[in-house]
Structure 1
Amino acid sequence: MTASAELTATPATSDSRWLKFAIALGLVGLADALLYGAGSGGLALPLFIAMLAATSILVNVALTSRPRLIGAAILFVAGLAPVVEQLGLLSFPIMVVMILSAVAFATHPTARRVWLPLTAVRDLLLIGPFRLVPDMIMMLREHSLTRALLIWSIPLTLGGVFAVLFAIANPVIAHWLDALGTGSSASELSVARALFWLLALPMIWPFVHLRWRQRSKPPRPIVDRGPDQPPSILATVLGPATVIRSLILFNILFAIQTVLDGVYLWGHAALPNGVTHAEYAHRGAYVLIGTALLAAAFVIVADRADNSAAGSPLIRPLIYLWVAQNVMLVVSSIQRLNMYIETYALTYWRVAALIWMILVAIGLVFIVLRTILDKPMAWLIRVNLLALSTALYVCTFVNLDAAIAGYNVAHSRQAGQSGPSIDCDYLVSLGPEALPALDRAIRLMPVERLLASDRDRLVREQQSRMADWRSWSFRGWRLQRYLDTHSTSPNLN
Structure 2
Amino acid sequence: MTDTTPVTTAGAAPGGDAPGLPAPRLSGGIMLAGLATLATALFYDAPLGIALPAFLALLCGGALLLNPPAGGMGRWVTAAVTLVAVLALLVDAVTPLSLLLAIPAIAACLLHLTGRWPFGLEGRVQSVGAMLVLGPWRLGRDSLAALEWGVNHIRRSAIVAAAVRWVLPAGLGLIFCLLFTTANPVLGLWVDRLPLAFLGDIDAGRIVFWMVVLALLWPFVKVTGLAGPVPAPALAGPEEEQDDPVLALLLSPATVVRALALFNALFVLQSAMDVYYLWTGHDLPEGVTYAAYAHQGAYPLVLTALLAALFVLVALERPPVTGTVRRLIVVWIAQNILLVLSAMLRLSAYVAAYSLTGLRVAAFLWMVLVAVGLGLILARMALGRSNRWLVGANLAATVALLYGAAWVNIPALIATYNVGHCREAAGGGPDLDWAYLGRLGPQAIPALDRYIALPLHSRAGAGDASGATVESLRQALAQRFLTRHAGWRSWTARDQGLRDYLAAHPDGIDQTSQP
RMSD across aligned positions (CA): 3.1
Q: Which amino acid aligns with 1:29?
A: T
Q: Which moved more, 1:124-133 or 1:272-281?
A: 272-281
- Tell me, yes or no, if the aligned pair for 1:292 and 1:330 is still in contact at 8 Å: yes
Please give the per-residue CA displacement for 1:74-133, whole angstroms capped at 9, x wherever unaligned. Answer: 433222111111111222212212222232232226544967963552242122122223
Asked whether 1:308 is paired with 2:293, we answer no
Q: Report the Cα distance in structure 2 between the residues aligned to 1:65 and 1:263, rounded to whole angstroms.
A: 77
1:462 aligns with 2:481: yes
Residue 94 of structure 2 aligns to a residue in which SS?
Answer: coil
Q: 1:471 aligns with which of 481, 486, 490?
A: 490
Q: Secondary structure of the equivalent of 1:213? A: coil
1:200 pairs with 2:217 = no
Q: Which residue of the other structure, out of 320, 324, 333, is the alignment partner of 2:334? A: 324
1:411 is the counterpart of 2:425: no
Q: CA deviation at 1:426?
A: 0.9
**Residue 377 of structure 2, aligned match among 360, 363, 367:** 367
Cα 1:221/1:334, change in 2 over 3 Å: closer
> Hey, what's the Cα distance between the residues in 2 that align with 1:440 and 1:346?
17
Aligned-pair distance for 1:182?
Answer: 2.1
CA contact (8 A) 1:128 1:205 kept: yes
1:23 matches 2:31: yes
Q: Does 1:181 align with 2:204?
A: no
**Cα distance in structure 2, aligned partners of 1:334 and 1:131:** 42
Deviation at 1:163, TM superposition (A): 1.8
Counterpart CA distance in 2 for 1:101 and 1:410 is 69
**Residue 3 of structure 1 corresponds to which residue in structure 2?**
none
Residue 103 of structure 2 corresponds to residue 96 of structure 1: yes
User: Is residue 269 of structure 2 the alignment partner of residue 256 of structure 1?
Assistant: yes
Specify whether residues 96 and 368 from structure 1 end up closer, same or farther in structure 2 by C-alpha distance, changes over 3 A only: same
Quote the Cα distance in structure 1 between the aligned partners of 2:348 and 2:129: 52
Give the aligned residue type for 2:469.
Answer: L
Per the TM alignment, residue 331 of structure 1 is displaced from its structure 2 partner at its CA by 0.9
- Other-structure match for 1:56: 63
* 1:294 aligned onto 2:317: no
- Which aligned pairs between 1:246-285 and structure 2 lie closer than 5 A? 246-285=259-298
User: Residues of 2 paired with 1:224 and 1:422: CA distance?
Assistant: 66
Residues matched between the structures, number: 475
Q: What amino acid maps onto 1:200 in structure 2?
A: V
Is the contact between residue 10 and residue 61 of structure 1 (CA under 8 Å) also seen in structure 2? no
CA contact (8 A) 2:104 2:132 kept: no
The aligned counterpart of 1:157 is 171
Is the 1:151–1:242 Cα contact (8 Å) retained in structure 2? yes
Which string of whole-angstrom CA distances, capped at 9 and with x for unpartnered residues, describes residues 189-236 of structure 1? 43x55543443322222222232237999xx76559989x88632333
Shift of residue 466 of structure 1? 5.3
Contact map agreement 1:402 1:433 (CA 8 A) in 2: yes
Separation in structure 1 between the aligned mates of residue 229 and residue 175 of structure 2, nearest angstrom: 43
Deviation at 1:146, TM superposition (A): 4.5
Distance in 2 between the 1:292 and 1:178 partners?
A: 25
Amino acid at match of 2:263: F
Q: Distance in 2 between matches of 1:291 and 1:189?
A: 25
Letter of the structure 1 residue corresponding to residue 323 of structure 2: P
1:107 aligned to 2:121? no
Answer yes or no: is the 8 Å Cα contact 1:31–1:48 preserved in 2: yes
8 Å CA contact 1:171, 1:279 repeated in 2: yes
Aligned partners of 2:278, 2:130: CA distance in 1, in Å?
54
Query: Displacement, 1:71?
Result: 4.6
Distance in structure 2 (CA, Å) of the matches to 1:286 and 1:55:
47
My pick for the range that moved more, 262-271 or 420-429, is 262-271
8 A Cα contact 2:267 2:335, kept in partner: yes
2:502 to 468, 472, 483: 483
Q: Does 1:81 align with 2:88?
A: yes
Pairs within 5 Å for 1:379-398: 379-398=389-408
Change in CA separation of 1:258 and 1:124 when aligned onto 2, cut-off 3 Å: same
Identify if the C-alpha distance between structure 1 residues 141 and 64 changes in structure 2 by more than 3 Å, giving closer, same or farther: farther
Quote the Cα distance in structure 1 between the aligned partners of 2:218 and 2:236. Answer: 29
How far the C-alpha of 1:298 sits from its partner, in A, is 0.9
Query: In the alignment, residue 35 of structure 1 is paired with which amino acid?
Result: F
User: How far does residue 302 in structure 1 lie from its aligned partner after superposition?
Assistant: 0.6
Q: Which secondary structure does the structure 2 equivalent of 1:90 belong to? A: helix
- Return the TM-score normalized by structure 1: 0.86
Alignment deviations for residues 148-170 of structure 1 (CA, whole Å, 9 cap, x no partner): 25433322222222222222222
Instruction: Give the distance between the partners of 1:348 and 1:337, measured in 2 at CA.
Output: 13
Post-superposition CA distance 1:232-281 (Å, at most 9, x none): 32333322122112212211222222122223333444444443332222
Q: Counterparts of 1:36 and 1:276 in 2: how far apart (Å)?
A: 39
Q: 1:378 to 1:10 in 2, by over 3 A?
A: closer
In the alignment, what sits opposite 2:12? none
Q: Are 1:127 and 2:134 counterparts?
A: yes
